[in-house]
Amino acid sequence: MPAPGLAVGAGRYAPSPSGDLHLGNLRTALVAWLFARSSGRRFLMRIEDLDRGRDAGAAASQLADLTAIGIDWDGEPVVQTERAEAHAAAIERLDSSGLVYECTCTRKDILAAPTAPHGPPGAYPGTCRDLSETEREVARARIAPRLPALRLRVPAGESTLSFEDRLLGEVVGDIDDFVLRRGDGTVAYNLAVVVDDDAMGIDQIVRGDDLAPSTPRQILLQRLLGLRTPPALEYVHVPLVLGASGARLAKRDGAVTLGDLRREGVSAVDVVQLLAGSLDLLTPGERISSTQLVSRFDPTRLPREPWVYPGR
């Protein structure tokens, strides 16, 4: 149950433990935390460790870095791989409605196939959508011992969807028959995030704007599974942090993680000032804590353009 005085809803931050958080990750986490705390919501943490191939076991250090810049959360972090039963149940529910089919296509197959009429570049062309059972058996044998992936059969009339984003305004996206579970058994991000957000009571989703194009897929899944959809859910996609070259921030830009900066004499408190300044929440020369930022946080003042980190 939420603590006294807190809203029933919640915001969240959901890092993938594939390495140390950089300034872009920390900035998005801070914005998500400010949105939740300033609106009286709970703030929850989820470790998105589904992709074990990329999992660097960095969850503990990531949580420590978030704590160091003043971000706290309610309850224990949710670990996504511990929610496999709920993910499987959602896929079964879709399958029972005739909305799931096997796919044996490789990425190379998809790129080589003719694009479906009016489909966006790289969209799944529907190669395995309407195969007969005999054709499916042949396809399974062809890829053995690899198993088929599972794709969503997007209902007629649902291939385009729009939603209203708090920062981006109206976002329109095309939806193809996307993967729900990979052939290696890994549940796809789009399915897991929808199921987990609903189970956690999250009604405010703040994340990087690179994830905005996948949101229409997630909203469609919400509809098909009978879960909450916008406007009951609020989406806020935050502009990314770029390096001095104008490309997305990465280790090539030098000291970009809390550990890197600490070794150069930059404290976590200094990082808070840097991030607050990038969000127009700080006047020159002012020193402020993350907690003090909550009372002055005004979503209408948030920058709509990426922040270019000048480096050190």
Q: How far apart (Å, rounded) are the C-alpha atoms in residues 133 and 219?
A: 30
For residue 136, is it within any domain? yes
Name the binding residues for ATP: 251
Assigned token pair, 198:
């609903």
Q: What is the CATH number of the domain that holds 144?
A: 3.90.800.10
Name the binding residues for Zn(2+): 103, 105, 124, 128
Mean pLDDT confidence for 210-218: 97
For residue 106, is it within any domain? yes
* Cα R_g (the chain), whole angstroms: 21
For residue 28, is it within any domain? no
pLDDT-derived band of residue 283, with 50, 70 and 90 as boundaries? confident
Q: Which residues of 191-220 are buried (b: 16+ CB within 10 A; e: fewer)?
A: bbbbbbbbebbbbbbbbbbebbebbbbbbb
For residue 107, is it within any domain? yes
Name the binding residues: 12-16, 48, 103, 105, 124, 128, 189, 207, 251
Assigned token pair, 217:
């897929």
Mean pLDDT confidence for 109-119: 74
Q: What are phi and psi of 202, to 5 degrees?
A: -80, 130
pLDDT digits (tens, 9 = 90+) for 41-90: 999 999 999 987 666 789 999 999 999 999 999 999 999 999 999 999 99
For residue 2, is it within any domain? no
Name the binding residues for L-glutamate: 12-16, 48, 189, 207
Domain that holds residue 141: 85-189
| Helix or strand (DSSP H, E) at 307 | strand 307-308
pTM of the model: 0.92
Assigned token pair, 298:
């005004």
For residue 112, is it within any domain? yes
For residue 30, is it within any domain? no
For residue 103, is it within any domain? yes
pLDDT digits (tens, 9 = 90+) for 147-164: 999 999 999 999 999 999
Cβ neighbours of 105 (radius 10 Å) = 21
Instruction: Round the average pLDDT of the chain to a whole number and report it.
Output: 92
Asked whether the beta carbons of 205 and 28 are under 8 A apart, the reply is: no
Amino acid at 92: E
Q: How far apart (Å, rounded) are the C-alpha atoms in residues 96 and 112?
A: 31
pLDDT digits (tens, 9 = 90+) for 91-100: 999 999 999 9
CA 34 to chain centroid, in Å, comes to 18
Total number of domains in the chain: 1
Give the residue from 224, 232, 226 showing the smallest Cα distance to 177: 224
Assigned token pair, 287:
């020193």
